[in-house]
A and B are shown apart, each in its own frame.
Chain A
């Protein structure tokens, strides 16, 4: 039982490049979310999903796309990376209302 797995752990991008951050969970959780955490700050919700085929925007969705084709996977796509997207990205999954499990994070630097 691996829990929530995020890949890669570290990534450096050039401005304008695109990439996909992967998130997979093996707990059959309905809910999955993506957060970003800037240095010294709390987590801000980017996008979330309450089930396969259902996604919605959080607080800071601009510049990011998501899709949820399976229960297990919830990838986050950066369309055209900008330095303002330098951050640590966390993926989380849970059953409704219950405790959320977080991945170890992806540390992204955009130069």
Chain B
């Protein structure tokens, strides 16, 4: 199964943009790139997902490299509530869908 690699931790200042990187060099053509975040003592929460094109929603933007071997989650203006562990995962889009595996994620600290 394809794996993802993320930095263990990142820091940001409040109200500044944050770029969270993810490497997935063994991604297959049918894998979707999903991002989730987990606040302390809570279950993971969906952030955004995409296949090939860049994606935007009310929470964030997802920039996907042309060769799909890496992606970046962009939080346009970090707030203290964005402090969480962010997970980049690959979700198979074929008959093996449902078998999504998480790595250890990136712990984002937001400083006031």
Q: Which residues of A contact B87 (CB under 8 A)?
A: 42-43
B78 to chain A, nearest CB (A): 22
Q: Give B residues with C-beta under 8 Å from A.
A: 32, 34, 36, 42-46, 49, 85, 87, 91, 93, 95, 97-105
Interface pair B43/A103, CB less than 8 Å apart = yes
Q: Which residues of B contact A35 (CB under 8 A)?
A: 102
Our pick among A43, A50, A94 for the contact of B102 (Cβ within 8 Å) is: A43
Interface of A, helix, strand, loop or mixed by DSSP: strand
A: number of interface residues (CB 8 Å):
29
Residues of A24-68 contacting chain B, CB below 8 A: 31-33, 35, 41-45, 48-50, 56, 58-59
Interface pair B103/A56, CB less than 8 Å apart = no
Q: Contact flags (1/0) for A89-106 with B, using CB distance below 8 Å? A: 010101011111111110
In the bound complex, how far is the Cα of B55 from the Cα of A98, in angstroms?
A: 14
A6 to chain B, nearest CB (A): 9
Q: Which residues of B contact A45 (CB under 8 A)?
A: 99-102
Q: Contact flags (1/0) for A1-32 with B, using CB distance below 8 Å? A: 00010000000000000000000000000011
Our pick among A44, A96, A99, A103 for the contact of B46 (Cβ within 8 Å) is: A99
Interface pair A31/B43, CB less than 8 Å apart = no
Given contacts A97-B32, A97-B91, contact A50 B103 (CB under 8 A): no
Interface pair A90/B43, CB less than 8 Å apart = yes
In the bound complex, how far is the Cα of B42 from the Cα of A101, in angstroms?
A: 12
Interface pair A49/B43, CB less than 8 Å apart = no
Given contacts A42-B87, A42-B105, A97-B32, contact A104 B99 (CB under 8 A): no
Interface pair B44/A33, CB less than 8 Å apart = no
Q: Which residues of B contact A43 (CB under 8 A)?
A: 44, 87, 102
Q: Which residues of A contact B34 (CB under 8 A)?
A: 99-100
Our pick among A33, A90, A102 for the contact of B98 (Cβ within 8 Å) is: A33
